[in-house]
C-alpha cells in the first residue's frame, strides 16, 4: 500500500508525439500546411533555418489540426484515465508547440497541466528534463515516452513506461533495472508499408498492355518485356503518389469510416517512413523508364505531374477531378503505346475517355452516397454536396453509354476491316461493355460496391467473364 501511495503522489509526465498518439504533430502540420498552401510551402524552409521551435510556432499559427481524430493509443489513454481517477497528478510534457499541446489536453481532459515548446524553446530531451526537475523541486516523477530524446528522462524518472520504443529507447529498456513497463503494438511494419503502397491498385496498370494486345504483338517477346517494364514503372509511380495523397489527406481520411484504417491515418506507419518509401518508389519508377523509349519517360513525367496536381488541388474541384481521373486512366494506355513504339488509336482514346469518365463518376457517386443526399451533406475534401448525387449518376450513365457508342462506331469503321479478318465477330463487344457499365451503376445505386470501380471490375467474376468473352471475340476476329 505504501508503494501504491508513493506512486500516486509522484507526478506523471506524458510525452505526446509517438507516445500518446501514433504520429508526430510537426509532420502532421507540415503536410496540412502543404495541402492548404502548396504555393507558399517554400516559407517552411526559412522558418526551419530560424530554428525548430520557430518552425513549430509558425505552423501552429497557420494550421488547425483536428485533434479529435488523431490516432491516440487507446491502451495508454485508458491507463491515464485510471491514474487520474485514482487522484494522480498528470502533466502533458511535449516538444510539440504549446497551441497544439493545449488543444490535445483540452480534448482528452486527462491532464492537470501542460508543458510544451514555444517560439523560443524546443522542449525536448535535456530541456524537457530540466523543466520537469524544476517543477518537482527535488522530488521524484514518473515518465511515459518512446524515443531517443526521452532516454535522459527515463534515466532520471522513478518509474518509466516505454511506448512503441525506437532503437535507442528499446536498448535502454533492455538494459534498465528500474521499474518499467512496455506498451507496444504487435503488428508487422513491413506489412503496413506494403499496404500503404496499395499493390491491389496495380491492377489498374494492366491498361498499359492494351496497345500490345490490340496490335496483336503479344507473341513478340521484346515488346512483351517492354510492356512489363512499363507496368512496373507505372505501378511504382502510382504507389508513390498514393502515399503522397494519403499524407496530404490525413485529416479527411480519419473522418472516413474505412479510410481511417489506412496505415498513415491510423498512425501504424510513421510519416517519415512514408516519405522515404515514396521517394524510393519515385526513383525506381524513373530508373525503370530509362530502359524504355524517351517518349514513355515523358508520358510518365506528365502522369506524375498530373497526379501530384490532383493530390494537391484538382481532387477538390467540381468535375475537374473526374475529368482528371479519366485522363489519368487513358494516360496508361498512351504510355503502353509509347513503351512499344506504337501509334495510339483515336478510337481507343475516345472510348477510354468516356468509359473511364463513367467509372470516375461512379467513384464520386459512392463517396457522396455515404455522406447522405441532403443539401448539407458533403464529401470530405471533395467539391460535391448531397444534392449533386442524381446529377453525378445521370452524367456517369450517359458517359458510359457514349463509350459503347464509340465502340460501335469503331467496330463499323474501315480501320477494323483492315485489321481483322472477321470484323463482324466484334459486334458482341458492344453488349458486353454495356452490361459492365449498367451493372456497375446498378450496384453503385444499391450501395453494393466499393469506392474504386476499376479495381471492382478487375476483381468481379461477372465482369471478368465479360472481359474474357471480349478477348475471345478479338482473337476470333483476328485469327479464325
Secondary structure of the chain in HEC code, one letter for each residue: CHHHHHHHHCCEEECCECCCECCCHHHHHHHHHHHHCHHHCCHHHHHHHCCHHHHHHHHHHHCCCCHHHCCECHHHHHHHHHHHHCCCCEEEEEEEEHHHHHHHHHHHCCCCEEEEECCCCCCCHHHHHHHHHHHHCCCCCEEEECCHHHHHHHHHCCEEEEECCCHHHHHHHHHCCCEEEEECCCCCHHHHHHHHHCHHHHHHHHHHHHHHHHCCCCCCHHHHHHHHHHHHHHHHHHHHHHHHHHHHCHHHHHCCCCHHHCCCCCCCCCHHHHHHHHHHHHHHHHHHHCCCCHHHHHHHHHHHHHHHHHHHCHHHCCCHHHHHHHHHHHHHHHHHHHHCCCCCCHHHHHHHHHHHHHHHHHHHHHHHHCCCCCCCCECCCCCCEHHHHHHHHHHHHHHHHHHHHHHHHHHCCHHHHHHCCCHHHHCCHHHHHHHHHHHHHHHHHCCCCCCCHHHHHHHCHHHHHHHHHHHHHHHHHHHC
Query: What is the per-residue pLDDT for 7?
Result: 63
Going by pLDDT thresholds of 50, 70 and 90, the confidence category of residue 373 is low
Rounded distance between C-alpha atoms, residue 132 and residue 89, angstroms: 13
Weakest mean pLDDT among 62-66, 299-303, 472-476:
472-476
- Our CA angle for 92, 96, 102, nearest 5°, is 50
Rounded distance between C-alpha atoms, residue 253 and residue 196, angstroms: 13
**Hey, how many other C-beta atoms are within 10 angstroms of the C-beta on 191?**
12
Beta strands 142-145; 159-163: pairing state: parallel
Residue whose C-alpha cell is 509517438: 18
Residue 116 reports pLDDT greater than 50: yes
Query: What is the per-residue pLDDT for 480?
Result: 67
Query: What is the per-residue pLDDT for 375?
Result: 52
Average pLDDT over residues 175-179: 85
Indicate the pTM of the whole model. 0.85
Residues 11, 90 contacting (CB under 8 angstroms): yes
- pLDDT tens sequence across 48-100: 999 999 999 999 999 999 999 999 999 999 999 999 999 999 999 999 999 99
Instruction: Give the cell for residue 190.
Output: 513491413
Higher pLDDT, 452 or 406: 406
Query: What is the per-residue pLDDT for 454?
Result: 82
Rounded distance between C-alpha atoms, residue 127 and residue 153, angstroms: 10
Going by pLDDT thresholds of 50, 70 and 90, the confidence category of residue 376 is low
Residue 277 reports pLDDT greater than 90: yes
Instruction: Give the cell for residue 54.
Output: 520557430
Cα separation values, 377 from 226, 271, 280, Å: 47, 31, 39
Instruction: Give the cell for residue 156.
Output: 532520471
- pLDDT tens sequence across 397-422: 999 999 999 999 988 888 888 877 88
Rounded distance between C-alpha atoms, residue 201 and residue 173, angstroms: 40
Q: Considering only the C-alpha atoms of the chain, give the largest distance between any 2 of them, rounded to a whole number of Å.
A: 94
Query: What is the per-residue pLDDT for 2?
Result: 41
With CA atoms as reference, report the closest residue to 93 among 136, 145, 58. 145
- What percent of the chain lies above the pLDDT cut of 70? 95
Weakest mean pLDDT among 1-15, 99-113, 347-361:
1-15
Residues 181, 214 contacting (CB under 8 angstroms): no
Residues 178, 169 contacting (CB under 8 angstroms): no
Residue 1 reports pLDDT greater than 50: no
Going by pLDDT thresholds of 50, 70 and 90, the confidence category of residue 101 is very high
Going by pLDDT thresholds of 50, 70 and 90, the confidence category of residue 451 is low
Query: What is the per-residue pLDDT for 458?
Result: 81
- pLDDT tens sequence across 212-243: 888 777 778 899 999 999 999 999 999 999 99
Average pLDDT over residues 255-278: 92
Mean pLDDT of the chain: 90
- pLDDT tens sequence across 417-438: 887 788 888 899 999 999 999 9
Average pLDDT over residues 149-175: 93
Query: What is the per-residue pLDDT for 420?
Result: 79
Query: What is the per-residue pLDDT for 359?
Result: 93
Amino acid at each position: 500500500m505504501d508503494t501504491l501511495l508513493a506512486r500516486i503522489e509522484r507526478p506523471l509526465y506524458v510525452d505526446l508525439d509517438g507516445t500518446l498518439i501514433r504520429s508526430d504533430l510537426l509532420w502532421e502540420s507540415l503536410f496540412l500546411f502543404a495541402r492548404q498552401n502548396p504555393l507558399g510551402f517554400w516559407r517552411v524552409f526559412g522558418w526551419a533555418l530560424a530554428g525548430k521551435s520557430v518552425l513549430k510556432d509558425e505552423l501552429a499559427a497557420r494550421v488547425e489540426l483536428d485533434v479529435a481524430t488523431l490516432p491516440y493509443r487507446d491502451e495508454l489513454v485508458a491507463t491515464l484515465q485510471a491514474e487520474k481517477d485514482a487522484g494522480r497528478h498528470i502533466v502533458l510534457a511535449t516538444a510539440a508547440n504549446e497551441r497544439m499541446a493545449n488543444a490535445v489536453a483540452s480534448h482528452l481532459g486527462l491532464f492537470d497541466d501542460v508543458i510544451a515548446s514555444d517560439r523560443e524553446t524546443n522542449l525536448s530531451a535535456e530541456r524537457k528534463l530540466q523543466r520537469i526537475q524544476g517543477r518537482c523541486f527535488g522530488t521524484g516523477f514518473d515518465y511515459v515516452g518512446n524515443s531517443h530524446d526521452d532516454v535522459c528522462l527515463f534515466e532520471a524518472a522513478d518509474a518509466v513506461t516505454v511506448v512503441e520504443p525506437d532503437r535507442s529507447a528499446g536498448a535502454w529498456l533492455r538494459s534498465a533495472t528500474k521499474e518499467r513497463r512496455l506498451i507496444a503494438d504487435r503488428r508487422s511494419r513491413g506489412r503496413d508499408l506494403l499496404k500503404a503502397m496499395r499493390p491491389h491498385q496495380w491492377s489498374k496498370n494492366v491498361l498499359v498492355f492494351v496497345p500490345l494486345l490490340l496490335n496483336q504483338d503479344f507473341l513478340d517477346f521484346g515488346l512483351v518485356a517492354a510492356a512489363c517494364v512499363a507496368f512496373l514503372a507505372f505501378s511504382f509511380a502510382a504507389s508513390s503518389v498514393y502515399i503522397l495523397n494519403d499524407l496530404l489527406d490525413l485529416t479527411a481520411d480519419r473522418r472516413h469510416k474505412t479510410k481511417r484504417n489506412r496505415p498513415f491515418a491510423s498512425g501504424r506507419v510513421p510519416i517519415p517512413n512514408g516519405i522515404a518509401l515514396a521517394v524510393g518508389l519515385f526513383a525506381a519508377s524513373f530508373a525503370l523508364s530509362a530502359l524504355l523509349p524517351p517518349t514513355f519517360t515523358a508520358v510518365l513525367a506528365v502522369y506524375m505531374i498530373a497526379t501530384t496536381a490532383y493530390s494537391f488541388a484538382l481532387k477538390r474541384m467540381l468535375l475537374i477531378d473526374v475529368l482528371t481521373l479519366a485522363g489519368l486512366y487513358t494516360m496508361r494506355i498512351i504510355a503502353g503505346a509509347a513503351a512499344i513504339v506504337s501509334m495510339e488509336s483515336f478510337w481507343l482514346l475516345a472510348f477510354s475517355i468516356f468509359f473511364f469518365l463513367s467509372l470516375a463518376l461512379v467513384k464520386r457517386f459512392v463517396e457522396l452516397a455515404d455522406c447522405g443526399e441532403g443539401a448539407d451533406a458533403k464529401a470530405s475534401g471533395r467539391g460535391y454536396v448531397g444534392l449533386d448525387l442524381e446529377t453525378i449518376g445521370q452524367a456517369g450513365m450517359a458517359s458510359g453509354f457514349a463509350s459503347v457508342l464509340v465502340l460501335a462506331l469503331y467496330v463499323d469503321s474501315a480501320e477494323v476491316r483492315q485489321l481483322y479478318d472477321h470484323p463482324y465477330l466484334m459486334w458482341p463487344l458492344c453488349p458486353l461493355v454495356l452490361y459492365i457499365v449498367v451493372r456497375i451503376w446498378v450496384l453503385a445505386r444499391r450501395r453494393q460496391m466499393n469506392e474504386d470501380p476499376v479495381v471492382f471490375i478487375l476483381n468481379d467474376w461477372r465482369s471478368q467473364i465479360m472481359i474474357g468473352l471480349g478477348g475471345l471475340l478479338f482473337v476470333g476476329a483476328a485469327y479464325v
